[in-house]
Chain A
Amino acid sequence: MRITYFTKFLFGVLLFLGGTVFSQEVGHNSKKAEAHEPIGVQEKIDGDIQHHIQDSHSFTFFSDSEKGIHYGFSLPVILWDNGLKVFSSSKFHHGETLAEVDGSYYKLYHSKIYKTNAEGIINYDESHHATNVKPIDFSITKNVVMMFVTGLLMFLLFSGLAKSFGKGPIATGAGRFFEPIVLYIRDDIAKPNIGEKKYKRFMPYLLTVFFFIWFLNIFGLTPLGVNVTGNIAVTFALAIITFIITQFSGNRNYWKHIFWMPGVPVPMKFILAPIELLGVFIKPFALMIRLYANIMAGHVVLMSIIALVFTVQNWLGGGLSMVLAFFLSLIELLVAALQAYIFTLLSALYFGFAVEEHEHDEAH
C-alpha cells in the first residue's frame, strides 16, 4: 500500500522495475521535458493528486515525468461525435498530442476529451473552463476497466460460493469467507430495516451494491491507484439505482406519507408535502455525496501525507509521513468497509420506508 504511492514519486527507482510493464514513450519527449522542467514540487504534487483522483483514458501504473515515459497500457476511446468513433487512447500520448480521427481532432485536457481544430487550440472562458465542444465520451476508461474487473471477480467469487453450496450445506473455496458477510447483510441490514416479509426482494441489490462498493474501495487502496468509488458519476449511478428501486417499490402508504401525511392537521399536510418530496431526492443525493466525499477525501489526504516526503525532504519528516500514511491506510481500510456498509444500510432503510405497512394510522 505504502509502496504504491511511494513508487508514484520515486521515478528513478521504478525505471528498473518497469521492465515487465509495457511502456509507452511519448514521441517528442525532449521538448516536453524541457517544458515541464520549471514546475515546482508543490505544483507537481497537486498535479499528481489531481491526476490520481480523476478517471483516466489509459491505465498507467506509474510514469517518469522527466523522461515523459508512462508505464501501463492504453484503453479504447469511444466517442459519439456525429457517429461512433473508436480509437486507442495511445493516440493522445497522455494528452500530449492531438488525436486525429476521420478528419476530426480531439485533445485530452485534464482527463477530458475536447474537440479542437487541427492546431489543438483549447479556448477558455473567464473562469478558465474550456469552452470547446465535448463529444459524448463512452470510453473504456481506467474506472470502467476496474468496474469490469470487480464485476468479474464478484461473479467468480459468488457463483463459486453458490456452486459450493450445491455440493453440500457447508461452503468451500474462497467464497466461504464472504458467506458470513452475506449472512450479516441479510440478518443485520435487510431484515431489521425492511422487515422479515419483504426483505427477500431487495437482497440481490443490497448484496451486489455492498460488495461492489467494498471491493472497489479496496481496489482504490491497492497499488493500481484507482479511484472508482470516489468518482461522482459512479456514486451518482449507484444512488440513482437505489432511488429508482425505492420509488418503484413504494406502496400506497409510502406515497401517502409523502403527499398527505396522516395524523397531522390539514394545513400541516400542505407544508409537509413539499418537504417530504424534497426528502425523497435528498436521500439519494446524500448517499451519492457521502460515498464520493469519503473516498475522495481519503485518497487526497493519504496522497498528501505521502507527498510530505517530497515537501519536507528530510529523514525525520519523511519517516513521520510514512508512519502517518501507514496508519491512515489502516483507517482507509476501515472506511472502505464502513462506507460500503453505510450505503447498503441506508439503501435498506429507504427500501424499508417504501414497503412499510401501517396497520393503524399512528400520529407522526
Chain B
Amino acid sequence: MDKLINDFSFGLFFWQITLFILLLLLLRKYAWKPILNAVNDREEGIKNALAAAENAKKEMQNVTADSEKLLKEARTEREAMLKEAREIKDKWIADSKEQAKVEGDKMIKQAQATIESEKKAAVADIKNQVAELSIEIAEKVIKEQLSNKDRQLKLVDDMLGDIKLN
C-alpha cells in the first residue's frame, strides 16, 4: 500500500483523466453515436424487412388462395357456360327441327295446295275440253242425225221422252 501511494503519479493521473475524457467526448460524437445509430437502424431495417417478408408470404398465400378460388369459380363458370351452351345448342337444334318441320309441312301443304289447284285446273280444263269435245261430238252427231228428217224426229222424240222421264 505504501509502495502504491509512493508510485502514484499525479501527473499521469491528470493526463489520464484529461485524455480519457477528451477521447470519450470525441468518440461519443464522432464514433459511438453514429455507429450505434447505424447499427440500430440496420437492426430496425432487418426487422422491418423480415416483417415485410412475412407479410408478403401471407399475402402470397392469400393471393394463391384467391387465385385458387378464382380458378375454381372460373371452372364452375366454364362448366355452367358449357352446360348452357349445350342447352342452347340442344334447344336451338330442337327449335330448328321444329321450324324445319313446320316449314316443311307448310311447304308440303303449299305444294299440296298447288297440286290440288293444278289438278282442279287440269280437271276443269279437261272438263272444258270434254265439254267442247262432247259439244263437237254432239254437234257432229246432231248434224248427222239432223241430216235426215226421220232421225231428227226420232231424236226429238227421244229427247222429249227423256225430259218426261225427268
Contacts and interface: CB of A to CB of B under 8 A. Distances in A.
Nearest to A78: B11
Contacts of B17: 237, 240-241
A130 to B, nearest CB: 9
A234 interface: yes
Interface in A130-177: 136-141, 143-144, 147-148, 151, 154-155, 158-159, 161-163, 165-166, 169
Contacts of B10: 136-137, 233
B30 A159 contact: yes
Interface in B5-40: 6-17, 19-24, 26-28, 30-36, 38-39
B66 to A, nearest CB: 35
A241 B22 CA distance: 13
A165 B15 contact: no
Given A159-B30, A236-B13, A204 B23 contact: no
A144 B19 contact: yes
Nearest to A167: B38
B41 interface: yes
A347 interface: no
B4 interface: yes
A144 B6 contact: no
A55 B9 contact: yes
A203 B24 CA distance: 11
A151 B22 contact: yes
Interface residues of A, number: 46
A232 interface: yes
Contacts of A139: 11
A207 B32 contact: yes
Interface residues on B, range: 20 to 34
B23 A151 contact: yes
A261 interface: no
B42 interface: yes
A205 B19 contact: no
Given A55-B9, A154-B27, A162-B34, A234 B39 contact: no
Nearest to B5: A232
A162 B35 contact: yes
B45 interface: yes
A234 B12 contact: yes
Contacts of B16: 144, 147, 233-234, 237-238
A247 to B, nearest CB: 16
Interface of B: 4, 6-17, 19-24, 26-28, 30-36, 38-39, 41-42, 45
15 contacts: A147-B16, A147-B20, A151-B19, A155-B27, A165-B39, A166-B34, A169-B45, A179-B35, A186-B36, A186-B39, A204-B33, A231-B7, A233-B8, A236-B8, A237-B17
